[in-house]
């Protein structure tokens, strides 16, 4: 059985890599390369997998909410992903890289019985990134 819980956070970013020239960055990232950044209302779906316990719950909602708040939301919400998040230092904060950082943050603090099955990060309604947890 899987249970999916949805969370929201807002953050700003600018896509630019020092490995390319200013002109090449503009061509590669388009508007996302605008110098002063821009924001997204991200949606994060966290899916956990396991069996319900004797109380009928796969996971206690408050415990899961607390874990996600501590590991992810408190570190990302209303932050600038380029400057405020140590896990993204030196990395272009694309939503691909953001999803990987979120998965790593969750797994490093994972203290609940069901396993993390996958996360899904929506940058907009049209750009959605899924990351299956490949760890056992």
Q: How far is the CB of 62 from other proteins (least distance, A)?
A: 6
- Identify which of residues 1 and 136 has a Cβ nearer to other proteins in the complex: 1
Q: How far is the CB of 58 from other proteins (least distance, A)?
A: 5
Q: How far is Cα 99 from Cα 77, in angstroms, rounded to an integer?
A: 14
Q: Which residues of the shown chain bind other proteins in the complex (CB under 8 A)?
A: 1-7, 52, 55-58, 60-62
Question: If DSSP codes are grouped into helix, strand and coil, which group holds residue 99?
Answer: helix
32 assigned to active site: yes
40 assigned to active site: no
Please state the length of the chain. 136
Q: How far is Cα 18 from Cα 113, in angstroms, rounded to an integer?
A: 41
38 assigned to active site: no
Annotated active-site positions, please? Answer: 32, 78, 123
């Amino acid at each position: 059985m899987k249970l999916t819980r949805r969370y929201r956070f807002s953050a700003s970013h600018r896509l630019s890599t020092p490995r390319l020239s200013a002109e090449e960055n503009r061509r590669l990232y388009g508007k996302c390369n605008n110098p002063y950044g821009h924001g997204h209302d991200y949606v994060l779906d966290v899916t956990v997998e396991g069996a319900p316990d004797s109380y009928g719950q796969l996971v206690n909602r408050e415990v899961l909410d607390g874990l996600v708040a501590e590991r992810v939301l408190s570190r990302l919400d209303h932050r600038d992903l380029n400057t405020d998040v140590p896990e993204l230092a030196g990395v272009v904060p694309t939503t691909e890289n953001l999803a990987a950082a979120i998965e790593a943050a969750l797994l490093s603090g994972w203290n609940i019985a069901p396993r993390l099955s996958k996360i899904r990060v929506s940058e907009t309604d049209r750009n959605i990134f899924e990351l299956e947890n490949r760890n056992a």
